Structure 1
Amino acid sequence: MRAGFARTGLRYVHLYQSKNLDKNGLKLHSTQDLLQLLGFVKQSKSGLVHWLPLGLRTLNKIKTIIKRRMEDQGRAQEVSLSLLSPKALWESTDRWINSELFKLKDSKGSDFCLAPTCEEEITTLMGSYISSYKDLPLTVYQIGRKYRDEKRPRGGLLRGREFLMKDAYSFDQTPQDAVTTFENMNKTYDLIFKDLKVPFVSAWADSGAIGGDLSKEYHFVHETGEDIVLECNGCSNVSNVEKCLSYPHETNTYTGDVSVRYALNVARDTLLCLYYPKNRTLNWNLVLAAMEKDVDSSLADVSNETVLQLFHAGKNEDDLMFSSVVRVMDCRLSSKANFPDFPLTQYLKSNFSQLDDVSLVDAEEGEICGACEEAELKASNSIEVGHTFYLGQKYSKPFNVKFTTRDNKEQLCEMGCYGIGVSRLVAAIAQVTRDEMGLRWPKAVAPYQISVCGAKSDELLEEVTNALKAWSPEIWVNEDPKVNLGRKIATSHNLGIPICVIVGKKQWPYVNLEVRAPYMTETWLTKQAENGETWGWTCDTEQRDLIKKHRVHKNHLKDVIDVILTDM
């Protein structure tokens, strides 16, 4: 490839020299704009993008890493499901009413949606092949496009209407087997994210609309992230804010205004009054835990007035007097706090109970970790890039996916599902690694690992290029005659190519290298000390972090590049 799609290098230089970029250069542009400016993607409309050759190379490298780990460590088989999913399947799981589904009709008037996820389809499909315990365990996965009707798509690839996703689904005999598969898949995910060479954290999470009892998220920590993860500096437990339990350093000390949220138990015969500091956010996962799941969570988003109407429905004054009421008090509240009026004017104390000293609100940095109850929590913004779920029988039950046990009995399968936002990863990696010069890809996902820059029609450039191409397919050469050497080098750095090889007559037979890659360990220094004199390898160790400059004899160029790449 010479200069990218439709002369990507030229197009970039033109924009860089135009008024589209101010004197501060690339650092003021959003990552999505940067990916477009440099020719990785082109946004056709809000939430929709076209992938260009440079972007596809990075995307395909991520897919290759995922496929290798899913098949080797995850023991998964690849499938590819239709994007069109019939309405009946989604009605079976009560998910057709989801407002984010793209819905359409065929010429016969039948209803379909463009799949945003494939629990319904995969469960139905695998159910037609699973009949015996001998068919289990079974894990299948796919990497394909998904669709979600985001009302306000933003962040480009981070929140689009069309996106590329890796989704996997597991089927097991027992809950114990399914949890083991869930744990093993999380180990596989650890390996996938380690292969990407970008620091990550895995956090216990809320299962949300997918459902299930166990859930983990994978995040890149970054100040621009929309999510929040909290890590204990003692036990190292990591959770997202929806699943994090915390306690104040001193309980019962809050004396300000108090908010109340009304709820009902599952049977809807007990009124729950949830009291918490007005300056905090109620956490429904903690409410469910405090009430041992005896809460009608379908009412979580309705108003207090609606809950009270439901509680009063069909009851006269005597019924209300004998109704059961539970006051649930957040542990931060003092008895001297400013509580709102109680919603009932008459009640029997014998039917009135109170639950004290539970935590009901979102955790905050500096509070005590609820897991170890000793050390403090540290909060960080983050970008979610993966999610794993243990589903149990949430989907196998409505679709009646059963197998015959060793005892010749029928039993429902236990399931798990595991997702990675593949196109989202491209944007997330770009976001957390970019700097003021542009993109800064890790070696594993860079569109090219090495660029070669030199004067036009230079036989020395051709000699080095041919030697490197015979050694590696990861070579990018900008041979455009209208671009000078300085601009070619700058373009290589803007594109985020880790190693730029600079060939010139003045220093020949020595060649210069400019290295810019995140997360290098600098173990190459040992190799440089051992072989520097033999290889004619010197390095300016005083260079700033953005670029490290090396010089090496042409005969050992591949040796030095190999050492540096190994260190990335």
Structure 2
Amino acid sequence: MKLCVKTIVRQVHIYQSKNLTRDAIKTLNTHDLLQSLGFVKQTQSGLVHWLPLGLRTLNKISRIIRNRLEKDAKAQELSLSLLSPQALWESTGRWNNGELFKLKDSKGSAYCLAPTCEEEVTSLMGNFITSHKDLPLTVYQIGRKYRDEKRPRGGLLRGREFLMKDAYSFDKTKGDAIKTFAQMNETYGLIFQDLRVPFVSAWADSGDIGGDMSKEYHFLHESGEDTVFKCGSCDHVSNVEKANSYPQKFNDYEGDVNVRYALTIDHDTLICLYYPKDRSLNWNLVLAAIENDVDTSLAGMSNEEVLGLFNAGKNEDDMMLSSVIRVMDCRLNPRSNYPDFPLKQYLKNNFSQLDDVSLVDAEEGEICGACEQGKLSSAKSIEVGHTFYLGQKYSKSLNAKFTTRNNTEEFCEMGCYGIGVSRLVGAIAQVTRDSLGLRWPKSVAPYEISICAAKHDGLSEEIETLLQDWESETLVNQDDKASLGRKIAMSHSLGIPVCIIVGKKQWPFVEIEIRAPYMSGKWHAEFDQFGKEWGWTVENADTDSPQKHRAHKDHLIDVIRVILTDM
């Protein structure tokens, strides 16, 4: 067993940068740091090979997810083909997605490399779900997905090939499906607690996936591309696409006003959306204001194109009879500088106005739209998971039905749930790293313990023997050319939570340096009770540098066990 660990260590060193100084660590972005430390190797933009250290972390994250899904969500694991036929994606209207990798076989049949599997899993489960007795059912997989990302960025955070956990639920009724959605969100909370990294969940926009209810999971960090808002009163959290806010003083804006034209779904009514020029229009808030009677497929059109579509085929009499709705953002007032109205003639009876609604993206310090009392605070974040209630969008398109108790047929109610597994590696590395390098939580660290000695002698062998219960989680630095200081620095840069330093000068006492973030401090009680008996002392425990512990070798296991339990 020991030889196996040592062999792994020698292989790891092949992939590590030989000249990674502390100054270099500070200047490297997180993806380059992961490469320099031998976790991954980028082959080209958006694509990486996983090296031994990175694969160990990736597999630990996968095990945490599997454990919670099967224990708490009662989900069953499967594995779907990555090649998905064109016909499935055309039936749901998603074949023309510009991010699909598409290919043809020797017979000319077209496929895509699946970026997500709503089509495949619905088609598959439709073959097995026949009766209400087959439901509820939740299945999941952890596997590679592909997205033709036009601008891969952030290393593992946005790539063309990525490892993803995707789960799919099937229920009899909408009420049952929403219960499953809630249960899966509880499971997600447990998963992220197990990862031991602070997170927030936020109500979110469902986007192209579909459905009318979704939640995102985020790590807060200044480098994030997303923004989440939290109310200081009701604690409601949502991303910028779903955040509804009101100004602290209504109708107080007197500057220039932007207008955006839209049409109702039947194209019979022109919608004029007025909002402050220095703010961004939020289409989710528009839909809420007009009660979803907006053709959002026109959102990419210019004002001129929307007006042209509205006026097409109409004569002067038709134009006079046109219906118009003016929607005024609650920040505007009569003194605001409005653009010219697009129609020269219209009947007042066909003209209506909706006032005092919020149409723009929220800003920090505004009033929460959920409780209308608390102020909103904002934070940049990295999205790492997303859950959706889908309804019958995919089951109807792919004919996934079941027979009810009354012997009638109904379409399944569905949900889907994603976690970016490889993305988590990059995100955790990003939010926990410091000036010394990576700083993994114990739950996902490639190894829990490292042993560093000036040379591999009898003392380090004795420590290895003492730590045999953690043998598969112990990394021993065998680089005889490296000094003890260099070995310790390498352990810290790799983010190994516990570094054991062995030397003849202090023997039989052994030094322990702690790198793990987010320790709870529960070890203090054990220290107070057994510190003297175990020869356990602590230095600089309240600083940002690694905590330095010292323990007698005869009680090293006791101290290590207490420390690891606290991580």
Please indicate the TM-score interval, normalised by the length of the shorter structure: over 0.9
Distance in 2 between the 1:517 and 1:409 partners? 57
Residue 15 of structure 1 and its aligned partner are, at CA, apart by 2.5
- Partner of residue 20, structure 2: 16
Distance in 1 between the 2:470 and 2:293 partners? 64
- 1:72-471 residue pairs with structure 2 within 5 A? 72-471=71-470
Unaligned runs of 5+ in 1: 18-22
Larger mean CA deviation between 437-446 and 519-528 belongs to 519-528
For residues 227-286 of structure 1, give each alpha carbon's deviation from its aligned partner in whole angstroms, at most 9, with x where no partner exists: 000000100000000001000001111000000000000110000000000000000000
Q: Is the 8 A contact 2:224 2:381 kept in 1?
A: yes
Distance in 1 between the 2:7 and 2:375 partners? 51
Distance in 2 between the 1:457 and 1:231 partners? 53
Distance in 1 between the 2:300 and 2:195 partners? 38
- Partner of residue 45, structure 2: 46
> Structure 2 vs 1, CA of residues 141 and 542 (structure 1 numbering), >3 Å: closer, same or farther?
closer
Q: Aligned letter for 1:112?
A: Y
Residue 226 of structure 1 and its aligned partner are, at CA, apart by 0.2
Q: Aligned letter for 1:26?
A: I
- Partner of residue 532, structure 2: 533
- Partner of residue 33, structure 1: 32
Q: Is the 8 A contact 1:3 1:479 kept in 2?
A: no
SS in structure 1 at match of 2:397: coil
Distance in 2 between the 1:2 and 1:307 partners? 68
> Structure 2 vs 1, CA of residues 450 and 6 (structure 1 numbering), >3 Å: closer, same or farther?
closer
SS in structure 1 at match of 2:259: strand
SS in structure 2 at match of 1:473: helix
Q: Aligned letter for 1:566?
A: T
> Structure 2 vs 1, CA of residues 82 and 323 (structure 1 numbering), >3 Å: closer, same or farther?
same
Distance in 2 between the 1:541 and 1:484 partners? 24
Q: Is the 8 A contact 2:206 2:213 kept in 1?
A: yes
- TM-score, normalised on structure 1? 0.98
Distance in 2 between the 1:258 and 1:280 partners? 10
Q: Is the 8 A contact 1:207 1:389 kept in 2?
A: yes
Residue 542 of structure 1 and its aligned partner are, at CA, apart by 5.2
Q: Aligned letter for 2:38?
A: G
Residue 150 of structure 1 and its aligned partner are, at CA, apart by 0.4
Q: Is the 8 A contact 2:9 2:475 kept in 1?
A: no
Distance in 1 between the 2:18 and 2:194 partners? 35
> Structure 2 vs 1, CA of residues 485 and 3 (structure 1 numbering), >3 Å: closer, same or farther?
farther
Q: Aligned letter for 1:483?
A: A
For residues 378-409 of structure 1, give each alpha carbon's deviation from its aligned partner in whole angstroms, at most 9, with x where no partner exists: 00000000000000000000111110000111
Q: Is the 8 A contact 1:438 1:495 kept in 2?
A: yes
Distance in 2 between the 1:470 and 1:389 partners? 42
Distance in 1 between the 2:545 and 2:247 partners? 42
Q: Aligned letter for 2:59?
A: N
Distance in 2 between the 1:6 and 1:297 partners? 57
Distance in 2 between the 1:333 and 1:107 partners? 61
Residue 538 of structure 1 and its aligned partner are, at CA, apart by 0.5
Residue 314 of structure 1 and its aligned partner are, at CA, apart by 1.3
Distance in 1 between the 2:87 and 2:15 partners? 49
Residue 434 of structure 1 and its aligned partner are, at CA, apart by 0.2
Q: Aligned letter for 1:479?
A: Q
Residue 467 of structure 1 and its aligned partner are, at CA, apart by 1.9
SS in structure 2 at match of 1:385: strand
Q: Aligned letter for 1:545?
A: D
Residue 546 of structure 1 and its aligned partner are, at CA, apart by 2.6
Q: Is the 8 A contact 1:13 1:491 kept in 2?
A: no
Q: Identity, % of aligned pairs?
A: 69
Q: Aligned letter for 1:15?
A: N
Q: Is the 8 A contact 1:536 1:551 kept in 2?
A: yes
Q: Is the 8 A contact 2:464 2:471 kept in 1?
A: no
Q: Is the 8 A contact 2:390 2:416 kept in 1?
A: yes
Q: Is the 8 A contact 2:500 2:510 kept in 1?
A: yes
Distance in 2 between the 1:358 and 1:475 partners? 59
Count of matched residue positions in the alignment of Structure 1 and Structure 2? 563
Runs of 4 or more, structure 1, over 4 Å off, are: 3-7
Distance in 1 between the 2:335 and 2:14 partners? 69
- Partner of residue 56, structure 1: 55
- Partner of residue 556, structure 2: 557
Residue 69 of structure 1 and its aligned partner are, at CA, apart by 0.3
Distance in 2 between the 1:212 and 1:144 partners? 24
Q: Aligned letter for 1:126?
A: M
Residue 8 of structure 1 and its aligned partner are, at CA, apart by 3.7
SS in structure 2 at match of 1:228: strand
Residue 6 of structure 1 and its aligned partner are, at CA, apart by 6.3
> Structure 2 vs 1, CA of residues 312 and 402 (structure 1 numbering), >3 Å: closer, same or farther?
same
Residue 522 of structure 1 and its aligned partner are, at CA, apart by 1.4
Distance in 2 between the 1:531 and 1:470 partners? 22
SS in structure 2 at match of 1:397: helix
Residue 9 of structure 1 and its aligned partner are, at CA, apart by 3.9
Residue 426 of structure 1 and its aligned partner are, at CA, apart by 0.2
Distance in 1 between the 2:531 and 2:313 partners? 87
SS in structure 2 at match of 1:395: helix
Q: Is the 8 A contact 1:3 1:480 kept in 2?
A: no
Distance in 2 between the 1:247 and 1:269 partners? 30
- Partner of residue 20, structure 1: none
> Structure 2 vs 1, CA of residues 11 and 297 (structure 1 numbering), >3 Å: closer, same or farther?
closer
Distance in 1 between the 2:364 and 2:8 partners? 46
Distance in 1 between the 2:200 and 2:264 partners? 35
Residue 471 of structure 1 and its aligned partner are, at CA, apart by 4.4
SS in structure 2 at match of 1:193: helix
Q: Aligned letter for 2:274?
A: Y
SS in structure 2 at match of 1:184: helix
RMSD: 1.2
> Structure 2 vs 1, CA of residues 12 and 543 (structure 1 numbering), >3 Å: closer, same or farther?
farther
Residue 523 of structure 1 and its aligned partner are, at CA, apart by 1.6
> Structure 2 vs 1, CA of residues 471 and 280 (structure 1 numbering), >3 Å: closer, same or farther?
closer
Q: Is the 8 A contact 1:366 1:377 kept in 2?
A: yes
